[in-house]
Structure 1
């Protein structure tokens, strides 16, 4: 379905589509009704290249007539283009002066203006070339930092979520069309079993939506990264462990206890999976008057971060285990592991255990002992947290979850109302909620089903 904005933009836009700064090649895009004329002016009045075939041409400044560059041109007439409009792509040398000269020349052409942020993609959406989930997938693809995020974004950009939504919308549209037909064409000849199986089908659809909703949290964590909090008493080696896993000095390490007073975050790829490691302030059990206000605030933030983390690593000195200070252990729950750091100082053959059977790893941030095992354990745990969404498109944004929840709520109210008109309204609400995910919902779909399934007015 093509979406026309309230007032169709008549102007044409241009922008540098590749990264700013010096490069071997830069890409400049033009889109809109004046794209062809603008390209002709850059070609000094010569004919446009053959559509969708790369052509090496010399470009000129339309105002001065001076040469700009030799560039590779692609002429992409609409509607078979990214934006659905006439488009041109210019691949030129990436020197700053070269790019600036071309942009200045385009800015001097009547009917052209610099594009606003995201305007090419907005025009693609307005033209029906992309739906909302594909637009979001494109944004996520640009921002992906790990291979798993890359795969998720690519599946979404290529229509993976739309393919999941389509059968649900079609089923809802069909059921709603039947109810609308029963209301509006009550005197016509309709199938006897029109409403017989509706409640069963609607209940099955509601269950499907609830299943998708249950998986949406994992998809969101894949998009945003698994949160791992490192907690423990002061001077246990939390910052050293963070630096070892990150492969750089992200946190300050000092012999002085209590160096970390705030949360220090590091974003990294762990076996291709997105992870945010948070080094937190040291926790200790003490009387309130013994803790200064800054340390108290740091401890509060540590507890807050641990409470919202997907996994918690509780770090202690191996020679002090079992540590009598249980402040960090209270945050561990069942969502992490105990790390006994400075294991190189333990007597030979020592094998500490946790009385409660929680995962316990012996490591040494100084010698590197146990770090490979720690990273392997983290990869396994993170993979488990993400589950099936690593291989299937997931609803990765909060607005997706809210829409699915609204649709499921409406379907679950469906059997609780008796009047056909109210039943139809619940289906209509569910259909609108699903339509908001992709931006595709049309009353014409109802008419298509009504007139296709019933020979009304024959």
Structure 2
């Protein structure tokens, strides 16, 4: 229902504004409850007067962050994965972040997990029937073998889910760590990539002692470039702390840019070896990207390599990825099913019940109050 109305403060009967009044009766609203929207002219003075007028009425208060979305989840208008997608969409800065978040919001994960839940329910019913079934021994054994095979197929399907990429890089940016010995040109390279002086550059060894993070978007992909302290033995306590942080960041890197000798780089799944200061070398270094922070053209092959490695980190065409919490639940489900899957109907029935409960957690149907607090705490007021 829509109507033009004059908005009047109940306490003083003073007119505040004229605007559009929209009524969405339950359950046909975004939250599943009765919802009223006041569309005003939007100046700060009008909005402040409207809020003061409404909150002066007994029983009316301002919403907590994410409260409307939380009510939508509680009333079945939105599932937990869609709520996470909305939170990510509100924070999205790159097009890739927007696309991945929108796929969650529109129920990409929900549809897949609902299908998975139906499979578990079907297997549970078969396991319960096998417990109560009394018949020919060969027939009973055949039913149990078929049930075990299907449980193994379920476990393999869950294993496939665990191969999905992590959501953190798409949500927070791919973490690219620059590391190497002191005075290797890490800070100069960071400034060249960023196109500005973000890090201190000096010929004095050990200039960088703290971690410097620079968020950047390159060809629509969000990155966080991390400049670290040079690696070397030192008696300086402050420098030792910086080196310790460097080693920790190397372990947390999605992509490692190593500015040092090719044979001295730490082991890393996604490693790019860089021979910096190419303009000062008499010959190129084999097995490395030879570049100069003073030559923008020399950075082009590096950007191409970053893009290629990024494709192994980010979600594929379906846009699906897992948070750490979701991955932990999936790992738990895989371990509950067992390897090998037990040939016992009673044990299978119990294991399948536990797996169904985990899927219900993933869908936000039960046992997720602490998680809801974290998710909706990311929302701004009015969402």
Both structures adopt the same fold (TM-score exceeding 0.5): yes
- Alignment correspondent of 2:318: 392
TM-score scaled by length of structure 2: 0.86
TM-score scaled by length of structure 1: 0.72
- Alignment correspondent of 1:200: 149
Spell out the pairing of 1:96-111 with structure 2 (5 A cutoff). Answer: 96-111=44-59
| Structure 1 residue 63 displacement after superposition | 1.9
Taking a change above 3 Å as real, the CA distance of residues 207 and 332 of structure 1, as seen in their structure-2 partners, is: closer
| 2:285 aligned to which of 350, 353, 378 | 353
Aligned length: 362
Spell out the pairing of 1:233-252 with structure 2 (5 A cutoff). Answer: 233-252=181-200
- Alignment correspondent of 1:371: 299
| 2:249 aligned to which of 305, 316, 321 | 305
Kept in 2: contact 1:148–1:390 (CA 8 A)? no
Q: Distance in 1 between matches of 2:219 and 2:313?
A: 14
- In the alignment, is residue 336 of structure 1 matched against residue 336 of structure 2? no
Taking a change above 3 Å as real, the CA distance of residues 236 and 73 of structure 1, as seen in their structure-2 partners, is: farther
Q: Distance in 2 between matches of 1:417 and 1:259?
A: 63
| 1:381 aligned to which of 279, 299, 309 | 309
Which secondary structure state, in structure 2, belongs to the residue aligned with residue 117 of structure 1? coil
Taking a change above 3 Å as real, the CA distance of residues 374 and 415 of structure 1, as seen in their structure-2 partners, is: closer
- Alignment correspondent of 1:128: 76
| Structure 1 residue 80 displacement after superposition | 1.3
Q: Distance in 2 between matches of 1:181 and 1:226?
A: 49
1:89-109: per-residue Cα shift (whole Å, max 9, x none)?
233333322211111011012
- In the alignment, is residue 436 of structure 1 matched against residue 361 of structure 2? yes
Larger radius of gyration: 1
- Alignment correspondent of 2:372: none
Taking a change above 3 Å as real, the CA distance of residues 80 and 414 of structure 1, as seen in their structure-2 partners, is: farther
- Alignment correspondent of 2:227: 279
| Structure 1 residue 346 displacement after superposition | 4.1
Q: Distance in 1 between matches of 2:121 and 2:269?
A: 44
Question: Structure 2, unaligned stretches of length 5 or more?
Answer: 367-383
Q: Distance in 2 between matches of 1:98 and 1:166?
A: 45
Which secondary structure state, in structure 1, belongs to the residue aligned with residue 70 of structure 2? helix
Kept in 1: contact 2:182–2:205 (CA 8 A)? yes
Which secondary structure state, in structure 1, belongs to the residue aligned with residue 41 of structure 2? strand
Kept in 2: contact 1:199–1:414 (CA 8 A)? no
Q: Distance in 2 between matches of 1:276 and 1:149?
A: 14
Kept in 1: contact 2:126–2:147 (CA 8 A)? no
Q: Give the ranges of 4+ consecutive aligned residues of structure 1 lying more than 4 Å apart after TM superposition.
A: 182-187, 191-196
Q: CA RMSD in A?
A: 2.6
Question: Whose RCO is larger (CA < 8 A, sep 6+)?
Answer: 2
Q: Distance in 1 between matches of 2:202 and 2:40?
A: 51
| Structure 1 residue 185 displacement after superposition | 7.6
- Alignment correspondent of 1:407: 333
